[in-house]
Amino acid sequence: MDVFGSFTLLLAFVCAVYAFVGGIAAIITRHPLLVKSTRQAGIATCVLIFIGTFSLEYLLFSDNFSQAYVVSHSNRDLSAFYKIAALWSGQEGSLLFWSFLLAVYVISVLIAYRHKNGELMPYVGVILAGVQIFFLTLNNFVESPFKTLANVSASGVLEPFVRMDGNGLNPLLQYPEMVIHPPNLYSGYTGFTIPFAFALAALLARYPGEKWIHLTRKWTMIAWCFQSIGILLGAHWAYAVLGWGGYWGWDPVENASLLPWLTGTAFLHSVMMQEKRGMMKVWNVWLVFCTFLLCILGTFLTRSGVVSSVHAFANSQIGPWFVSFMLLTLVVCFVAYVKNHDYLKSENQLDSMISRESSFLFNNLLFLVACIAVLSGTLFPVFTEWFTPSRISVGAPFFNKIMIPIGLALLFLTGVGPLLAWRKTSTDSLKRNFTWPLVFGALCAVLAYILEYRNAVSLVCLFLCGFVFWTIVMEFYRGGKVIAARSGMSLMMSAHELSMRNTRRYGGYVVHFGMVLIFIGLAGAAFNTDVQKTMNLGDSMKLGPYTLVLQSADTKPEKNYTAERMIVEVLKGNKQLMMLYPEKRAFQGRDQQNGTMVAIYSTLREDVYVVFAGTDPDTNLPVIHAFLNPLVKWIWLGGVWVVMGTLLALVPNRRTALVIAGATQPAASPVAPALTPSVNLREGHD
Amino acid sequence: MQNRAKFGVGIGVILVSLGFLAWMGYGESKTYYHTIAEYQQLQGSARNHRMRVSGTVVPGSIHHSAGRTDFALEEEGKILSVSYIGSDPLPDTFVDKSQALVEGRRGSDGRFVAEHVQAKCASKYEAAPGGDKPAASSPAQQSSM
C-alpha cells in the first residue's frame, strides 16, 4: 500500500504539471479540447491525491509498523478516532493533508464551474494547478509520508525492518478537539487559495470586476468560516489541555493562524466598497493576494520551526521551498498587477469623513495595522537576527498594547459602520441612530461596574458591546417592523423573513453579534485570579466565592494511558455544586509521556478551572492549581454565533419583489434608514 | 483635497498612537536569545537584559528545594547553572536530558534565575531504527505563559 500511495502521489504530480502547462497552452490557443483535457487533468490530480491520502490512513489503521510515519505517530492501542488525527500530527502527513483539503476545494471549483465563467476558468485552473504542483513537490520529493524502515545488514545491504509497535501519538494531541481543530484551520488556510486564484485570474484575464468579486467573496466567506472555527477550537484546546489557565498566548503558531483571518476579514468588508461604489479595487486585489501569502506563511511558520514555538516542528527541510514559493507568488502577483493595473482604476472618491466609506476605510486600516503588528511581533526574532547581532523576541505585553485598542476601535466601528449612510451622513441621522445604542451601552457599563467588573479597559469594552448589540437589535427591529406591517406576520417571523431576503447583510449582523459575545468574554480576562496549593486529602482552598475540597485521589487505567485523578469538590457557601476530576495521564509507548487534563466548572459568570499541577517534590503531596476566569464561556458562545452568521450569509437570498421595492423607497427606508439612494450606488447586498 | 487632508490627519494620528504603544510594549517585553557560550561572555548592561537560553538538562542535576528548583543546562560543552523560582510546577516533559528553554534574568551570583521553563522531551521522536532522519519533534510544554 505504501508503494501504491507513493505512486498515486507521483501520478498526481504529473497530472498537475499537465493541468498547468496544458492550461497555459489552452489560454494561448483557446482550443476547446485542450481546455477540457486540462480541466480533466485537474480533476484527476485531485482524485489521485484523495487515493494517496486514504492509502496513508489505511497504513495507520492496519498498524503497518514498517512505515516510518506510522511508527512515529501511531501505536496499536491508539483508538480509531486518533488514528484519523495521526494523519496530520506529523510534518509529512500534515503536508499531505494540506494537498488533500486543497484538492477538495479544487475539484469542487472545477466541477461546479465547468460550464460557467468560460473566459476565467482556464486561468483559475492554471493557478490552482500551480499551487498544487508546489505541495505535491513537497509530498513527493521533500517530505514523503511513505518512507519504509530499513536496516543496514551485516553485508552492507539495506533490508526492510518492521517494528513491533509504534511510538504513539503525542499526548497533547490526544484530545477530541485536536481531531477537529486542525482540519478546520487547514480548511481555512487552503480555502483562501480559491479566492486568490479567482482574483489573480480576473486580473490576468481583465475579467469584469462585478463578476469576479461575487465569486471571490463567496469562497472567502467559506474559508473565513473554517479559519474562525479553527482559531476558536485551537484557543479552546489550549484552554482545556495546556493547563495554564488562558486561551491565547500570542504563540507564533496562534499568530500565524490569525494573520490571514485579519486580512480576510478586512477583505470581506472592503469588498462592499467595490460592489457599491467601484472603489478600493487595487486594495481588494492585494488583500486577497496577501491573505493567500499569509496562509502559506502560516503553514511555513507552523511547519518549519523558524520561530521557536510550542508548536513548531524542529529543523525542517522545507523552509527554502516555502520561501521560494512565496517569493515566486509575490513576483507573479506583482507582474500581473503592473501589467493590468489600469483595469483596477477607482470609479469614485471619498466624499465625507462621516460616511459608510470612511468607516470601511478605517476598518481596513485597523485590520491592516493589526496584521502588521502581529506579523512583525511574530517574526521579530528572525528580523533582529538578520539585521543585528542579537536575537530578540517580544511577548504578550507588546501584542496586548497594540491589539487591545485596535480591538476596541474595531468593535466601535462594528456598531457605527452599518448605521452610517453611503457618501455622507447628516447630523440628524447620527442623533436618531446613535442615541439609544449609546444609552444602552452606558447601562451595560453601569451594570458591569455594579457587578464589580471594575477595570477601565473592560468597562469601555462592555460599554461598546452594549452599544453594538443595540445597533444590531435596531437593524432587525426596523426591517422586521416594515415586513410585519405589510404581511401581518409576527415581529420575530418578520425578522426571520428579513434575514432570508438579504442573507449577507443580516448574516453579517449575526456575525457581529457573535463578535460582541466574544468581546464580552475577552473583557473578563482582566479579572482572572488563581490560587495554587499543596493539598492533603480533606484540605480545602478558597477561590473567590468558591471553596475547593480535595476529597480523594484514584488511578484509572485506560486503553492507551493510565490516569491519576484528583477528586475535587466545588462548594459555594455551603452548597455543593459539583465534583471535578483534574488528572494527569501517563501514556504508553516507547517513552512514557505525561499529559494533563483540566477540569472546568463553567457558567456564564465564570469558570472554575482546576489543574492537577504535579506533586510537591518536598512533601510528595499533590499540587492543585485553581483559576477563577470570569466570562470565558461567552467566547465559545460567540464563536457559535459567528459560524451561524457566516452560514446564513452563504445562503442565497429569498426573492420577494414586492417588499424589496417598497423598502428601498427613500422616504420609508427603515431597512437601511441612513442609506441615501444615489446613482453611484450599485446593486448588491451589503 | 480638503477631505484627503482630513483623512490623512486621521490616519496619521492612528498610526502614530499605535506606533507609540508598540514601542512601549516592545520596551516592556523584549527578550534576548543567547546561547550558553554567549551568555557567559556578556558584558555591561547586556547582563541585565531579560533573556532566553536553551540547552539540554544535565542528567542528575535537578534538585528541588523549598520554593526553587536548581538544575544545569548544557550546550556545546558549556554548562549553565539555573535556578527556577516560578510559582508554577515544572512541565511534565522537564526531565533529565530533555531540551529546555529558560526565560529570566542573570542573578547576582551569576546563576540564571528562570521565571519560565519550557521543555520538550528529546528522546520521544528520535530517529526510528533504520529511519533515514529524525521525524518531527513533539511540541514542548510550557510551565506558564
Which positions ≥6 away from A575 have C-beta within 8 Å? none
Amino acid type, B79: I
User: Which 3 state secondary structure label does DSSP give B8?
Assistant: helix
A583-611 mean pLDDT: 83
pLDDT band at A15 (very low <50, low <70, confident <90, very high): very high
Nearest to A397 among B28, B135, B141 (CB): B28
Q: Which residues in chain B have their CB less than 8 angstroms from residue A614's CB?
A: 89-90, 92
Please give the grid coordinates belonging to residue A54: 486514504
Average the pLDDT over each of A279-288, A352-361, A453-462 and give the range with the smallest value. A352-361
- Candidate from A69, A353, A398 with C-beta closest to B29: A398
- Domain finish residue from A617, A633, A649: A633
Q: How many domains would you assign to chain A? A: 2
Residue A358 lies in a domain: no
Percent pLDDT > 70 in chain A is: 92
Query: Collapsing DSSP states into helix, strand and coil, what is residue A670?
Result: coil
> Which triple of cell numbers denotes residue A529?
485570579
| Cβ neighbours of B140 in A, within 8 Å | 310
The closest of A187, A100, A87, A169 to A135, measured between CA atoms, is A100
Q: Quote the CA–CA distance of A208 and A673 in Å, as a whole number.
A: 31
For A386-415, b/e burial (b = at least 16 CB within 10 A) is: eeeeebbbbbbbbbbbbbbbbbbbbbbbbb
> Which of the 8 DSSP states describes residue A145?
S
For residues A427 and A416, what is the distance between their CA atoms, to the nearest angstrom?
14
- Mean pLDDT of the A295-317 span: 67
Percent of chain B, pLDDT > 70?
Answer: 79
**Residue A244 confidence (pLDDT) above 70:** yes
Buried b (16+ CB within 10 A) or exposed e, A126-140: bbbbbbbbbbbbbbb
In total, the C-beta contacts within 8 angstroms joining chain A to chain B are 163
Cβ–Cβ gap A614/B90 under 8 Å: yes
- Which residues of chain A neighbour B28 with C-beta distances below 8 Å? 397-398, 401
Q: Spell out which residues of chain B touch residue A68, defining contact as CB-CB under 8 Å.
A: 128, 131-132, 135
Q: Does B48 contact A at CB distance below 8 Å?
A: no
- Residues whose CB falls within 8 Å of the CB of residue A569, separated by 6 or more in sequence, listed in order: A548, A549, A551, A576, A578, A579, A580
Q: How far apart are CA A318 and CA A277, in angstroms?
A: 43
Asked if the Cβ–Cβ distance from B18 to A399 is below 8 Å, we say no
Is B95 in the A-facing interface, judged by CB distances under 8 Å? Answer: no
Using pLDDT thresholds of 50, 70 and 90, give the confidence band for residue B125.
very low
Residues 6+ apart with CB under 8 A from A610: A548, A566, A568, A580, A582, A598, A599, A600, A601, A624, A625, A626, A627
pLDDT, position A591: 56
> Would strands B63-65 and B68-75 be described as parallel, antiparallel, or unpaired?
antiparallel
CB atoms within 10 A of CB A82: 23
Question: Does A646 map to a domain?
Answer: no
B17 in contact with A, Cβ within 8 Å: yes
| Higher-confidence position of A488 and A9 | A9
Q: Answer yes or no: is A243 within a domain.
A: no
Bigger pLDDT: A160 vs A582: A582
Lowest mean pLDDT among A494-508, A656-670, B102-116: A656-670
pLDDT in tens, A221-243: 999 999 999 999 999 988 988 77
Of A246, A358, A594, the CB nearest to B92: A594
Residue in chain A nearest B26 by alpha carbon: A398
Rg of chain B in Å (alpha carbons): 21
A4 in a structural domain: yes
3-state secondary structure of A565: strand
> Does residue B140 register a pLDDT over 50?
no
Residue B113 Cα, gap to closest chain A Cα (Å): 18
How far is CA B141 from each of CA A35, A477, A507, A564, B86, rounded to the nearest angstrom? 51, 49, 39, 19, 15
Which set of grid coordinates corresponds to residue A674? 441612513
CB contact under 8 A, A308 and B88: no
Q: Which of A279-283, A372-376, A459-463 has the lowest mean pLDDT?
A: A279-283
* pLDDT higher than 60, residue A667: no
Average pLDDT over residues B60-66: 81
Q: Do A163 and B129 touch (CB under 8 A)?
A: yes
Angle formed by the axes of helices A632-650 and A209-241, nearest 10°: 160
Nearest CA in chain B to A405: B18
Cβ contact B26–A398 (<8 Å):
yes
- Mutating which of B1, B125, B132, B142 best tests the A interface, going by the most A Cβ atoms within 10 A? B125
Q: Identify the weakest region by mean pLDDT among A180-194, A334-348, A662-676.
A: A662-676
Chain A CB contacts of B70 below 8 Å: none
Domain of residue A84, residue span:
1-150+162-168
Does position A13 have pLDDT exceeding 80, yes or no?
yes
Residue A590 pLDDT level (bands cut at 50, 70, 90):
very low
Confirm whether A370 is domain-assigned. no
The pLDDT score that the predictor gives to residue A316 is 62
Q: Are the beta carbons of A72 and B24 separated by less than 8 Å?
A: no
Q: Is the pLDDT of residue A675 over 80?
A: no
Of A137, A168, A199, the one marking the end of a domain is: A168
SS3 for B73? strand
The partner residue sitting opposite B66, judged by closest CB among A161, A350, A618, is: A618
Q: What pLDDT is stored for residue A662 in this prediction? A: 42
Which run of H or E residues covers position A34? helix A32-61
Q: Is residue A546 part of a domain?
A: yes
Beta bridge partners of B63: B70
Reported residue count of chain B is: 145
In this structure, which long-range contacts are made by residues A199-203, counting pairs with CB atoms below 8 Å and at least 24 apart in sequence? A199/A284, A199/A285, A199/A288, A199/A289, A200/A123, A200/A127, A200/A289, A200/A332, A200/A333, A200/A336, A201/A120, A201/A121, A201/A123, A201/A124, A201/A126, A201/A127, A202/A120, A202/A123, A203/A285, A203/A336, A203/A337, A203/A340, A203/A343, A203/A344
A483 occurs within a structural domain: no
Average pLDDT of span A38-65: 95
A367: exposed, middle or buried (C-beta count within 10 Å: 0-12, 13-18, 19+)?
Answer: buried
Q: What is the mean pLDDT of chain A?
A: 87
| B62-68: long-range contacts, CB 8 A cutoff, minimum separation 24 | B62/B94, B62/B95, B62/B96, B64/A617, B64/A618, B65/A618, B66/A618
Interface contact A390-B32, CB threshold 8 A: yes
- Kindly tell me if the per-residue pLDDT of A137 is higher than 80: yes
Residue A158 has pLDDT above 80, yes or no: no
Distance CA A488, CA A475 (A): 19
Identify the helix (H) or strand (E) that includes residue B80.
Answer: strand B78-84
pLDDT of residue A678: 41
A514-573 pLDDT per residue, tens: 999 999 999 999 999 988 888 999 999 999 999 999 999 999 888 778 889 999 999 998
- On whether the CB atoms of residues A543 and A619 are closer than 8 A, the answer is no
Question: Collapsing DSSP states into helix, strand and coil, what is residue A618?
Answer: coil
Q: What is the pTM of this model?
A: 0.87
Confirm whether A534 is domain-assigned.
Answer: yes
Confidence of residue A306 (pLDDT cuts 50, 70, 90): low
